Structure 1
Amino acid sequence: MGIAPEEIAPGVHRLRLGRHALASNVYFVATGGGWALVDAGWASSAPVIRAAAATLFGEGNPPRAILLTHIHPDHSGAAGTLARQWHVQVHVAAAELPMAHGRYLPAFGMPLDRWAVVPLLRLLPARVRDRIEAAGDISDVTRAFGDPADLPGLPGWTAVPTPGHTPGHVAYHRADGVLLSGDAALTVDLNALTGVLTGRRRLSGPPRYTTWDPVRARRSLAGLAALRPRLLAPGHGDPVPVTGDELAALATRLTWWQRAARPQASTSDGGYRPPPRLYTRLQGTGRLLTRLGLTPRDVVTLEVPGRRTGAIRRTTLLRTDHDGAGHLVSITGESEWVRNVRAAGGRAVLARGRRKWPVLLTEIPAGERAPVIRAQLLRTGRRPDSARVAGDALAFFGITGEPGLAEIAEVAHRHPVFRIGPRAAG
């Protein structure tokens, strides 16, 4: 059950459905003598939504339209029932329309679908699965809206494409800065166990386990930041005042592992970024695992004399193959191993397992580094638009979004790259 609707902005009321962190919001928007419903909660929410609508607008006064930010059961579950009772249409972005049939579509799948929902459905008899799909089918009352600035039943609002959580996710924005963000931006962190259990307020992106494409979701956050909203009314969590800068920071927030693995800030010379403390602590373990052959095949140990002491310095690095040659890329810029290699005239030794071989490392010009750096980001068959590539590009090279050659070329001068060549014995 939900609590009474509350006015969060002129003409905009929020109804919270549920009492825990996973509670979802629906919004009643009064517009020029009529009103519209934005999102529709779970399938069981229909009576609560109808009662709230009667309280706000009177009995027998249906909305002009129902608009959805996206089709997920916690946001669209009651849409079909309400639309049929009120004799109105449900409107979504065109890219979202295929999901209105209630069937699982692999191209629209999210991690939770693949890990849990689909395996469980496969255990059910076919007739039971058919009933579940039929219950979620709202295709008979759902239409795609056309002009995002001329929304049915919602004059004065604009639909802002925010794909990522789902392919056709949209947010709804009003000129005075009110933003109904759906699951594109939340004010409860459903990516953290503490957030799920306690409902602790925190500006957050969509839950990764229910998000179709996290890279596009991150880009959509940057798009919302550009709107400079003043009030964020999310699909989950309480409406809160917000600034574009806060949303922009959220778009570039790293996971705990990316923060742990990210090089530290540059020192005063602007070139060397000390490696992360975690990386430094694990170097010994990394060398041992590489010697035992237990690390990926592209991991090697570089041995080079220290430029001051002459003692051998060992660093575990990734070898990147590009254009028929191996390369070493410094993600930390003008690092200690880079300076030692230069001082040694490029003469060094690489080791993996029990094998060691002398090499000559030749530094390549900044203008030729971008393809090698991109090859490192795309190693082991990674997709260019994957979350892992985007996270590494942001953490190590400061690139937001999909790392193309042009974007990498802008920062390549900060990251020395050495081509691995043979060295004559002695």
Structure 2
Amino acid sequence: MTVAAGVRQVAPGVHMITLGRTVAASNVYLVGSGSAWVLVDAGWPGSVGSITAAAESVFGTGARPAAVVLTHIHPDHSGAAGPLARSWGVPVYVHPAELAMAPGRYLPEYEMPLDRWVVVPLMRLLPARTRARIERAGSITDVVRTLEEGVVPGLPDWQWVHTPGHTRGHVVYLRRSDGVLIAGDAAVTVDLNSLIGVLTGRQRVAGPPRYTTWDWSAAVRSVAALAALEPRVLAPGHGQPVTTGAAQALDALVHDLDRSEVGTLGRLRAAAALPRYGGAEGYRPPPPVYARLQWLGYALTRLELSPRNVVTLEVPGRSSGVMHRTNLVLLDHDGQQYLVSLAGRSQWARNVQATDGRVVLARGRRRRAAMLTEVPVQARPAIMRAYLLRGGREPGNQRIVREADMFFGLAGEPTLEDLAAVAPRYPVFRVTGGWHAPYATRARR
């Protein structure tokens, strides 16, 4: 039997196909075990023909796998999974934590930087029907199943290991008998975190691309978990396989990532990060880097590319009289709208108090003369909790825990009683007033 061009055997029973070119190329694997075989990952949408041809060249005409198993649900790894599974009449298996992404819809709690800054703003520019059609095309809800603990369907000599970080439910697949590790994007062998790497395709063992990674700290811990598996062959989702020295390369990567977290890069990231406002301290201004980039947030809101519930507050300074702008989330709760001062007695909150609540809210070409009325302390906890649960977040969402810690200094998912204890430190304002016509005048600077 002739194996199709572009199909490479990286270990006994493990064949790799690379789909796409340059940094967009991703790897899928045809893995045999006895008389059965399984497809690991499914490349980009439109890869059906290439994968089918490769499978038939390895396993024979009309070959059908026992299952499709995914390392994670991203379009460069799951794009063709639905069409292939339906054609073959087999299920697609993912980790239970990945199941929520199966419909192909954007989920804020699963978002990555590329979603936040590029994909979602672009999707909002599309007509609703077009967005729905794109989501339906990427849905695998009709064929998806969840992996059972330690079991890889169709591959009794393999096991899966949960490696969260790049996505919440990312997994890798390991054959312990010879140390073959199919790593997905938990670790790759092309440097996608530097401009030189992206432009040249420089080969090196590296962590997942930050711009498509859900939780970088968790991803770093998962790299350490990969190193602890001591693989002899590293078969990545992007880049060329490593067939010698894989364990040593992962050990070196762990060291490099640990050093970067506490080195210059870590300090730069800390400088640019939002401050943690929780605790008994008074108001702390945002870092200078964050403050200097606020113009970008205003521009996105002016172009209506920021999230739909974000508005720009315009209020004169209490001493200077100069108009100040701040981007804030306009919260809908029980038929009313609110602004929550997450930084405590922030500058904007004190300016609002000094103007007796008379402000302007702006979004796109609309400006709204509004009145902000400060909410009594005893009524604030319910509104603060509504803020944490905004956007349809369900209890248990990691973002609730993260924001409760960052803004309110509360561990876990706070109760109303927890929020009541800190509510006196967080001004909350009820918003009244109607939208005005498109910009007629510009705010005084």
Q: Conserved in 2, the CA contact under 8 Å of 1:171 and 1:181?
A: yes
Q: Conserved in 1, the CA contact under 8 Å of 2:103 and 2:139?
A: yes
> 1:221 maps to which residue?
223
Q: Conserved in 1, the CA contact under 8 Å of 2:41 and 2:78?
A: yes
1:202 deviation in Å? 0.9
> 2:69 maps to which residue?
67
**RMSD over equivalenced CA pairs, Å:** 2.8
SS of the residue 2:182 aligns to: strand
One-letter amino acid of the structure 2 residue matched with residue 57 of structure 1: F
> 1:232 maps to which residue?
234
Q: Conserved in 1, the CA contact under 8 Å of 2:31 and 2:39?
A: yes
1:198 deviation in Å? 1.0
Provide the rounded CA distance (Å) in 2 between the counterparts of 1:43 and 1:95: 22
Q: Conserved in 2, the CA contact under 8 Å of 1:189 and 1:196?
A: yes
Residue 31 (structure 2) aligned to one of 2, 19, 29: 29
SS of the residue 1:25 aligns to: strand
Provide the rounded CA distance (Å) in 2 between the counterparts of 1:261 and 1:58: 50
> 2:171 maps to which residue?
170
Q: Conserved in 2, the CA contact under 8 Å of 1:3 and 1:16?
A: no
> 1:259 maps to which residue?
263
SS of the residue 1:134 aligns to: helix
Matched, 1:144 2:151: no
Mapping of 1:26-425 within 5 angstroms? 26-148=28-150, 150-175=151-176, 176-240=178-242, 241-252=244-255, 253=257, 258-260=262-264
Q: 1:108 to 1:70 in 2, by over 3 A?
A: same
One-letter amino acid of the structure 2 residue matched with residue 199 of structure 1: G
1:140 deviation in Å? 0.3
Provide the rounded CA distance (Å) in 1 between the counterparts of 2:56 and 2:139: 26
Q: Conserved in 2, the CA contact under 8 Å of 1:3 and 1:17?
A: no
1:244 deviation in Å? 2.9
Q: 1:153 to 1:294 in 2, by over 3 A?
A: closer
CA deviations on 1:237-265 (whole Å, 9 max, x unpaired) are 000133434323322425769533799xx
Q: 1:233 to 1:294 in 2, by over 3 A?
A: closer
1:186 deviation in Å? 0.4
Identity %: 57
SS of the residue 1:66 aligns to: strand
1:4 deviation in Å? 1.9
> 2:300 maps to which residue?
none
Provide the rounded CA distance (Å) in 1 between the counterparts of 2:259 and 2:169: 25
> 1:424 maps to which residue?
none
TM-score (norm 2): 0.58
> Which runs of no fewer than 5 residues in structure 1 stay unpaired?
264-292, 297-377, 386-426
Q: Conserved in 1, the CA contact under 8 Å of 2:260 and 2:266?
A: no
Q: 1:255 to 1:123 in 2, by over 3 A?
A: farther
Rg: which structure is higher?
1
SS of the residue 1:190 aligns to: coil
SS of the residue 2:47 aligns to: helix
Provide the rounded CA distance (Å) in 2 between the counterparts of 1:382 and 1:247: 36
Provide the rounded CA distance (Å) in 1 between the counterparts of 2:287 and 2:212: 31
One-letter amino acid of the structure 2 residue matched with residue 96 of structure 1: E
SS of the residue 1:114 aligns to: helix
One-letter amino acid of the structure 2 residue matched with residue 59 of structure 1: T
SS of the residue 1:6 aligns to: strand
> 2:20 maps to which residue?
18
SS of the residue 2:22 aligns to: coil
1:31 deviation in Å? 0.7
SS of the residue 1:54 aligns to: helix
Provide the rounded CA distance (Å) in 2 between the counterparts of 1:213 and 1:262: 15
Provide the rounded CA distance (Å) in 2 between the counterparts of 1:225 and 1:383: 34
Provide the rounded CA distance (Å) in 2 between the counterparts of 1:294 and 1:204: 32
Q: 1:254 to 1:223 in 2, by over 3 A?
A: closer
Q: Conserved in 2, the CA contact under 8 Å of 1:3 and 1:15?
A: no
Provide the rounded CA distance (Å) in 1 between the counterparts of 2:181 and 2:73: 18
> 2:370 maps to which residue?
none
